[in-house]
Structure 1
């Protein structure tokens, strides 16, 4: 393993986290390197166009070349493709329907799914939609959505089952709980005999871009099972988020 190369990568990470630029002494202390090593590494970065020295502050800062490379990589990442291996694993473990959703206005749009092999199962279809406040993936997305999205949802409240949320105050309480727990639960709010759990997926910027959910009939997924499923979903969505560049 090339130690100089590793030191250069560590140096890049340290500089990326410092919004005000970095000094040689500061970096040497932070990375436990001597000043001459840090200086040589910085000169190499400057030579390759990854860093520059600010003449006014006498501190080193990264150039837009890092952003350019990062943007090219981010553009190649597809939440559906990155999620699919994890969805297959969850489907094998739980034998329930697994689906991947994004938020489109006041609705969720299903962009990928794996059906349960069991004869009685939750039915969704790729390209299908559901009211966001009524399903677990929708609530997982709404918990981190902008206020204008919540206003749109509020204006479309409708009771699809006796358990459907029809008041914005009740929805806000649930969303607060979801942010605290990290996952959402649908207790039969869209289809009375279908329940589920879901957790959010984040991109490199930390923005919630999708939600991964599991759903099934109430006789197989009781409250205890949903809690276990929610914890498992958090593990999987964190792993997917890391693959999308989230840290």
Structure 2
């Protein structure tokens, strides 16, 4: 175990559980560390935005609360989305995914799924990842980001099939369409013979919490199928959003 990381997290836990801000001498005595070591670790935590220094006494910032809220929000969205996912699975006959966006890696993380009853179906697993610009749930969530954040993806859009988005210009073009339609489509951009359609789910703060979508073999997810099921997917996303206290789509920032 990395002892530096362990010490930093221990300090953070002590500060989070304390009713008042703490001084370096006090922390050093409680944790059995040197004052110079505590000072160095606190300086790092301040730089990372987890700790604030107020007149020589230290306490946690709201960043811990923000991260905790994101995690709790994922548990809430899974619980609330599950019945709606089951309905969508019955309506479509295809696999239904619930995904969240990891903005740092620009990947989606599958946090829940309902398998299709079909013998041939799209493969994925809960906890698995996929490039956000190549799958429907990912593209739906990317469309909610400001254009400036999308422009920052220049050079990171690795194609995985001949249909994959490979440039920021193409991403922005598709995003404009997704914002108008309120759903995104994957035309075999991650796996050549797998298609999907997805829409976002909003939390009580109006921000995107997750995306819900269906996927399956291209032979079944034809253009006609997508045209018929896209409104179901959008309604599923809106229903879960309402359950989470979410509202209408927010205006996009260019």
Name the TM tier (shorter chain): 0.5 to 0.7
- Report SS of the residue matched to 2:81: helix
Residues 126-179 of structure 1: per-residue CA shift (max 9 Å, x gap) = 000000000000000000024564245433221211101101001101001001
Counterpart position of 2:219: 219
- Report SS of the residue matched to 1:192: coil
Q: Is there any run of 5+ residues in structure 1 with no aligned partner, and where? A: 1-70
Counterpart position of 1:90: 88
Q: Does 1:139 align with 2:139?
A: yes
Q: Is there any run of 5+ residues in structure 2 with no aligned partner, and where? A: 1-68, 248-254
Counterpart position of 1:80: 78
Q: Distance in 2 between matches of 1:75 and 1:127?
A: 16
User: Structure 1 residues 181, 156: CA separation in 2 closer, same or farther (over 3 Å shift)?
Assistant: same
Q: Is the 8 A contact 1:143 1:178 kept in 2?
A: yes
Q: Is the 8 A contact 2:147 2:172 kept in 1?
A: no
Q: Distance in 2 between matches of 1:185 and 1:75?
A: 25
Q: Is the 8 A contact 1:77 1:244 kept in 2?
A: no
Q: Distance in 1 between matches of 2:199 and 2:180?
A: 12
- In the TM superposition, what are the counterparts of 1:161-172 in structure 2 within 5 Å? 161-172=161-172
Q: Distance in 2 between matches of 1:76 and 1:142?
A: 18
Structure number, greater radius of gyration:
1
Q: Distance in 2 between matches of 1:244 and 1:152?
A: 30
Residues 71-127 of structure 1: per-residue CA shift (max 9 Å, x gap) = 9xx979701100000001111221211000000020000000011111110011000
User: Structure 1 residues 163, 117: CA separation in 2 closer, same or farther (over 3 Å shift)?
Assistant: same
Q: Distance in 1 between matches of 2:216 and 2:140?
A: 17
Q: What is the aligned residue count?
A: 175
Q: Is the 8 A contact 1:132 1:153 kept in 2?
A: no
- Report SS of the residue matched to 1:195: strand
Q: Is the 8 A contact 1:133 1:153 kept in 2?
A: no
| TM-score, normalised with respect to structure 2 | 0.65
Q: Is the 8 A contact 2:74 2:209 kept in 1?
A: no
User: Structure 1 residues 77, 123: CA separation in 2 closer, same or farther (over 3 Å shift)?
Assistant: closer
Residues 8-29 of structure 1: per-residue CA shift (max 9 Å, x gap) = xxxxxxxxxxxxxxxxxxxxxx
- Report SS of the residue matched to 2:214: strand
Q: Is the 8 A contact 2:155 2:167 kept in 1?
A: no
| TM-score, normalised with respect to structure 1 | 0.67
- In the TM superposition, what are the counterparts of 1:53-68 in structure 2 within 5 Å? none
- In the TM superposition, what are the counterparts of 1:231-246 in structure 2 within 5 Å? 231-246=231-246
Counterpart position of 2:124: 124
